[in-house]
Structure 1
Amino acid sequence: MEDHSLEQKFSKFIIIVSILIPVVVALLFSVKLKDFGFHVEPLSFLPPIYAAINGITAVVLVAGVLAIKNGKRKLHEQLMTSAIALSVAFLVMYVAYHMTSESTKFGGEGIIRPIYFFILISHILLSIAVIPLVLITYVRALANKFDKHKKIAKITFPIWLYVAVTGVVVYLLISPYYV
């Protein structure tokens, strides 16, 4: 019988975090610090930084997969841990920006408009879906359940990579409309 104790130990945490992050981000998206009497300058310098972090995350994810395919388990572990840290940094900056700045409206017209919204909506939905996938994948590696880890990683990786790359694309498409 397999030992599932580590997976069981983290299962409630994964469920809570997977629900809490999207809910808190959605709530904080509508909260502006100025509404609570805080005078803070808009953090308008953050979008290119967190877009770059998305790009770096994509590179780190690909490097992580290449590392494990070349038998470099420790490097793979370090790169995937770095990808998680980069994703957390992105999330913090994204929320900070939206708590201090008004949302930017996409001003593109013609065929680019539905393309932008398709990319944006798929990016948002998959960024929510990837949270539990990343956490489950990571915990399975920590638990040394590499057969299960590899199985879910084959699902997690392309989704996470898509979210990272489309984060950059969304930024590039909307950046001309920042005030």
Structure 2
Amino acid sequence: MKDSAPVQKEKQISRWITVVSIAVPLVVVILFGVRLPGVEPLGFLPPVYASINGLTAVLLIAALWAIKNGNRGLHQKLMTTCIALSLLFLMMYVAYHMTSDSTSYGGTGVLRYVYFFILISHIFLSIVVIPLVLRTYAKAYLKDFEGHRKIARITFPVWLYVAVSGVVVYLMISPYYPY
């Protein structure tokens, strides 16, 4: 039977994860409807935040390599960096959309269907990955490494897909940006 203090801490963290997992997508949707008056469009941001997605993907793979090779310290630093990069991405993404109109994909034929499949799955999984990442990180924080490993087997491929598909979406839509 678990000691009640760690169980209480886990419940408290779980509540916060639930709140954050609901609040972040809602705030993003709300902010998408806000235009900052008098602010020039931040058209330089899409390649920057796409690069952040690419770097996140590389660091996720490096973190997997680190833990597979027994380097828990490096793994922890890399994963913390991935979370920080994801937050930075989110802030830039919202800032861009608060200053710029959405860009329509101009491709045709099969590529149009491929683009929208990747975009829709990217958006859906970017919402799903929030609680996965937070729960995985919390398990490690609480030193429940067995639980951490178990959920990380789900979190890792979802997060990697979100990071890589973000780059692919950018590369596919970048010819249509007005800047």
Q: TM-score, normalised by structure 1?
A: 0.96
- Aligned mates of 1:57, 1:79 — CA distance in 2: 9
**Contact 1:120/1:166, CA 8 A, preserved across alignment:** yes
**Partner secondary structure for residue 136 of structure 2:** helix
Structure 1 residue runs of 4 or more that deviate by more than 3 Å after TM superposition = none
Aligned to 1:90: 89
Q: How far off is 1:14 after superposition?
A: 0.4
Q: How far off is 1:103 after superposition?
A: 0.4
Residue 10 (str. 1) matches residue 9 (str. 2): no
**Partner secondary structure for residue 49 of structure 2:** helix
- The number of aligned residues is 175
- Aligned mates of 1:6, 1:149 — CA distance in 2: 16
Residue 132 (str. 1) matches residue 125 (str. 2): no
Aligned to 1:166: 165
Q: How far off is 1:8 after superposition?
A: 1.3
Counterpart residue type for residue 90 of structure 1: F
Q: Which runs of 5+ in 2 are unaligned?
A: none
Q: How far off is 1:4 after superposition?
A: 2.3
Residue 40 (str. 1) matches residue 39 (str. 2): yes
Equivalent residue runs for 1:1-179 within 5 Å: 1-2=1-2, 3-34=6-37, 39-179=38-178
Let me know the Cα RMSD of the aligned residues: 0.7
Q: Which runs of 5+ in 1 are unaligned?
A: none
**Contact 1:6/1:139, CA 8 A, preserved across alignment:** no
- Aligned mates of 2:8, 2:47 — CA distance in 1: 41
User: 1:117-160, CA deviations, whole angstroms, 9 ceiling, x for partnerless residues?
Assistant: 00000000000000000000000000000000000000000000
- Aligned mates of 2:9, 2:73 — CA distance in 1: 20
Counterpart residue type for residue 131 of structure 2: P
Counterpart residue type for residue 20 of structure 1: A
**Partner secondary structure for residue 89 of structure 2:** helix
Q: Percent identity?
A: 63
Q: How far off is 1:27 after superposition?
A: 1.2
- Aligned mates of 1:63, 1:131 — CA distance in 2: 20
- Aligned mates of 2:20, 2:96 — CA distance in 1: 21
- Aligned mates of 1:74, 1:5 — CA distance in 2: 27
User: 1:64-84, CA deviations, whole angstroms, 9 ceiling, x for partnerless residues?
Assistant: 010000000000000000000
Q: How far off is 1:6 after superposition?
A: 2.9
Q: How far off is 1:5 after superposition?
A: 3.2
Counterpart residue type for residue 23 of structure 1: L
